[in-house]
Amino acid sequence: MDDILIQHSKDSAAGARSKAARSIVPVSRVSAGDVVVPNDRMEVYERLDVYNFGYFTRLKDVLESDFPALVHAMDKHSWLHLALGYVTRYPSEHPNLNVLNRRLPGYIEKKNVPNRGFLRDLAQLEVFITEAFDAPEFEQIDMESLRQATPEQHTGAVFETNPSLRLLESSYPVNRYLQTVYDEGSPPTIAEETPVREKSFLAIYRKEYRVWRLNLPRPMFRILEALREGTPLGDAIISQGDHDEDFQRWFREWAADGLFTRVHIDS
Amino acid sequence: MNLQDLTGRDLGVGIGLRSVHYGHVLDEKPELDWFEILSENYMNTGGRPLHILDQVAERYPIVMHGVSMNIGSADELDFPYLRELKALRERCGAVFLSDHLCWTGVHGQNLHDLLPMPYTDDALKHLIGKIHQVQDVIEAPLVLENPSTYLEFKESTMTEWEFLAQMAKESGCGLLLDVNNIYVCARNHGFDPYEYLDNTPWDHVVQFHLAGHTDYGTHLLDTHSAPACDEVWKMYRHAHKLSGGRSTLFEWDDEIPSFDDVRAEAHKARTIRQESVTMESAP
């Protein structure tokens, strides 16, 4: 159900005329003036519009708070058009506004907008940051059990990863762009400069109540991805064949950063 | 816990706990009687907000105030939401749990606004049933706040204060009286705010809210972005006398100034409360 009264992207009068509204209450039988009282300063639809305008302003503000880099990358008109289209297509269905953003990357993917891939990945990164921020509480792994394991047990070890962990593979350096925005720099908008393709691999996770973004080399990204899916450690390492990365150093960093919450070792 | 436990618990003067003040509150441990949290800011999350709340709740009494219960809607209540609300109350030891006399969505959609209800017998019956359902889940009296509204329904057969009084009496719920909301509604709909206050069922009032609003010429909007106006403070003085003293909160949610500035505004309520005590004890 969309496009009715206070959710209509034009105004409440257009909302009342919409097909969705008429499917609930036929306008031929009931008009807004039959239900709402005007006063000496405002007509019926002007009173309804207080809610209509408030609705879009509020949701736009929430999205702008969640997507500072995406908003920076787009010109104001394009952003407002995108945001309005998004909340019309995907109105909030949750008591909490912290999930309103979740479908925006997919929505961008389906829109015919310039530099769609860059904008989608930038939006996805910003969604992952909010997901990591709000992920369930967890406890970091006790690495002692792993230190005491035999080499064979290491090979078969299966890890459960921290519920805040998100992995993002992009054809663009979206993390660098985001960091520049965070640093109050002013990276070029997509209207000023077409984003240059450059593969990037990123782990996003929460540690000590802050969200971190870690750039990873491709083989380490793939291994972490495999571990998150429950692949035994030995198989995850072998899957990447020969490479120049120091896996043990990366693994120690991941463990120290709390990326693992449980390890299953065959006794 | 019954209603008398709540109405008899005057926590003093508090302010809303807002993320821009987290650092100040944790580092400076400012003197304040209590904090109110926006319940939804600490739900559906397992991160920093809860970690902060745990620390604040160790030092200050907490009151929970929600905006998404949707109690006036024709939709069924959202029971997972209510259970999460209850779990949060148990976690932070909240003294009161409140929401608004309104609906916030229908057909599963949430408009994240406090939408007005028609004040009719049917709406009253519908609402009382819902209040009982909520109270069964949270195992405590629900406290409901009068909202700011920007329209009125033709089919309403009673005033807001008559509706509130009947709702409170028949459901046993508590009331959170927002003095600024009464003022905003009085200006928007043209009634006497003192008639509202004089007909409030004070034995159900648990708490006061105070806030600022914005004047758009055609209507007042409850923006929580400014100090309260003089008329609202005058109304609070009158309400305080009628109530005999209730927990009072100053809300500031937009263009939020420093913690000290918000607290200074809240402390105007403390001055009014103290004036009243001085006058009562004078020979």
Mean pLDDT of B117-146: 97
Using the Cβ of A210 and the Cβ atoms of chain B, whether some distance falls under 8 Å is answered with: yes
Q: In the prediction, which pLDDT does B195 show?
A: 98
Residue B256 clears pLDDT 70, i.e. is over it: yes
Q: In the prediction, which pLDDT does A3 show?
A: 46
**Domain chopping of chain A, boundaries:** 67-264
Distance (Å) from the alpha carbon of B270 to chain A's nearest alpha carbon: 32
Using the Cβ of A76 and the Cβ atoms of chain B, whether some distance falls under 8 Å is answered with: no
Selecting from A6, A37, A91 the residue whose C-beta is nearest the C-beta of B154 gives A37
**CA–CA separation, B193 and B191 (whole Å):** 6
- Residue A87: closest CA among A67, A73, A72, A69: A67
Residues of A in contact with B70 (CB under 8 A): 95
Least confident of A24-38, A217-231, A236-250, B105-119: A24-38
Query: What pLDDT, in 10s, does the model give residues A113-144?
Result: 999 999 999 999 999 999 999 999 998 877 77
Mutate to test the interface with B, among A87, A92, A211 (most CBs of B within 10 A): A92
Q: Would you say A204 and A211 are in contact if contact means Cβ atoms under 8 Å apart? A: yes
Distance (Å) from the alpha carbon of B274 to chain A's nearest alpha carbon: 38
Does A97 contact B112 at a Cβ distance shorter than 8 Å?
yes
Residue A27 clears pLDDT 80, i.e. is over it: no
Band (pLDDT 50/70/90 cuts) for residue A228 is very high
Selecting from A58, A95, A163 the residue whose C-beta is nearest the C-beta of B81 gives A95
Q: In the prediction, which pLDDT does A28 show?
A: 61
Q: Which pairs count as long-range contacts for A34-42, CB under 8 Å and 24+ apart, including other chains?
A: A34/B154, A35/B153, A35/B154, A35/B155, A36/B151, A36/B152, A36/B153, A36/B154, A37/B151, A37/B152, A37/B153, A37/B154, A39/B188, A39/B189, A39/B190, A41/B217, A41/B218, A41/B219, A42/B218, A42/B219
Query: What pLDDT, in 10s, does the model give residues B96-122?
Result: 999 999 999 988 999 999 999 999 999
Query: What pLDDT, in 10s, does the model give residues A71-83?
Result: 999 999 999 999 9
Average pLDDT, chain B: 96
Using the Cβ of A36 and the Cβ atoms of chain B, whether some distance falls under 8 Å is answered with: yes
Does A55 contact B107 at a Cβ distance shorter than 8 Å?
no
Does A92 contact B110 at a Cβ distance shorter than 8 Å?
yes
Selecting from A34, A91, A134 the residue whose C-beta is nearest the C-beta of B47 gives A134
Band (pLDDT 50/70/90 cuts) for residue B126 is very high
Residue A1 clears pLDDT 60, i.e. is over it: no
Mutate to test the interface with A, among B54, B111, B113 (most CBs of A within 10 A): B111
DSSP string covering chain B: --HHHHHT----EEEE--GGGHHHHHHH----SEEEEEGGGGSS--SHHHHHHHHHHHHS-EEEE-S---TTSSSPP-HHHHHHHHHHHHHHT-S-EEEESSEEEETTEEEEEEE----SHHHHHHHHHHHHHHHHHHTS--EEEPPP-S-EETT--S-HHHHHHHHHHHH--EEEEEHHHHHHHHHHHT--HHHHHHTS-GGGEEEEEE---EE-SS-EE----SPPPHHHHHHHHHHHHHHT--EEEE---SS---HHHHHHHHHHHHHHHHHHHHHHH--
Using the Cβ of A32 and the Cβ atoms of chain B, whether some distance falls under 8 Å is answered with: no
Does A58 contact B51 at a Cβ distance shorter than 8 Å?
no
This prediction has a pTM of 0.92
Q: In the prediction, which pLDDT does A2 show?
A: 41
Q: In the prediction, which pLDDT does A25 show?
A: 62
Residues of B in contact with A128 (CB under 8 A): none
- Would you tell me which CATH number, out of the four given (3.40.50.300, 3.10.310.30, 3.30.590.20, 3.20.20.150), belongs to the domain B3-281? 3.20.20.150
Distance (Å) from the alpha carbon of B165 to chain A's nearest alpha carbon: 23
Residue A30 clears pLDDT 90, i.e. is over it: no
Tell me the percentage of chain A whose pLDDT exceeds 70: 91
- Residue B168: closest CA among B209, B203, B133, B207: B203
Q: In the prediction, which pLDDT does B282 show?
A: 59
Query: What pLDDT, in 10s, does the model give residues B53-74?
Result: 999 999 999 999 999 999 999 9
Q: In the prediction, which pLDDT does B277 show?
A: 67
Using the Cβ of A139 and the Cβ atoms of chain B, whether some distance falls under 8 Å is answered with: no
Q: In the prediction, which pLDDT does A151 show?
A: 86
Residue A264 clears pLDDT 60, i.e. is over it: yes
Mean pLDDT of B145-158: 97
Q: In the prediction, which pLDDT does A13 show?
A: 74
Q: Would you say B99 and B137 are in contact if contact means Cβ atoms under 8 Å apart? A: no
Q: Would you say A212 and A206 are in contact if contact means Cβ atoms under 8 Å apart? A: yes
Using the Cβ of A151 and the Cβ atoms of chain B, whether some distance falls under 8 Å is answered with: no
Mutate to test the interface with B, among A94, A208, A261 (most CBs of B within 10 A): A94
Q: Is A200 left (phi over 0), alpha (psi -120 to 50) or beta?
A: beta
Q: In the prediction, which pLDDT does B270 show?
A: 95
Query: What pLDDT, in 10s, does the model give residues B222-244?
Result: 999 999 999 999 999 999 999 99
In this structure, the number of other CB atoms found within 10 A of the CB of residue A21 comes to 21
Query: What pLDDT, in 10s, does the model give residues A34-56?
Result: 889 999 999 999 999 999 999 99
Tell me the percentage of chain B whose pLDDT exceeds 90: 94
Distance of CA A145 to the CA centre of its chain: 35
- Residue A154: closest CA among A228, A220, A237: A237
Q: Name the residue with higher pLDDT: A21 or A146.
A: A146
Q: In the prediction, which pLDDT does A266 show?
A: 83
User: Per CB distance under 8 Å, which residues of B are interface residues toward A?
Assistant: 40, 43-48, 50-51, 68, 70, 78, 81, 105, 107-113, 115, 150-155, 188-190, 217-219, 221
Mean pLDDT of B79-108: 96
Q: Would you say B223 and B212 are in contact if contact means Cβ atoms under 8 Å apart? A: yes
In Å, how far are A46, A54, A64, A85, A101 from A59, measured between CA atoms? 20, 9, 9, 12, 10
Least confident of A166-175, A240-249, B116-125, B262-271: A240-249
**CA–CA separation, A2 and A9 (whole Å):** 10
**CA–CA separation, A59 and A89 (whole Å):** 13
Q: In the prediction, which pLDDT does B281 show?
A: 63
Query: What pLDDT, in 10s, does the model give residues B167-180?
Result: 999 999 999 999 99
**CA–CA separation, A235 and A209 (whole Å):** 32
**CA–CA separation, B51 and B47 (whole Å):** 7
Using the Cβ of A247 and the Cβ atoms of chain B, whether some distance falls under 8 Å is answered with: no
**Token digits for B81?**
């939401």
Query: What pLDDT, in 10s, does the model give residues B22-42?
Result: 999 999 999 999 999 999 999
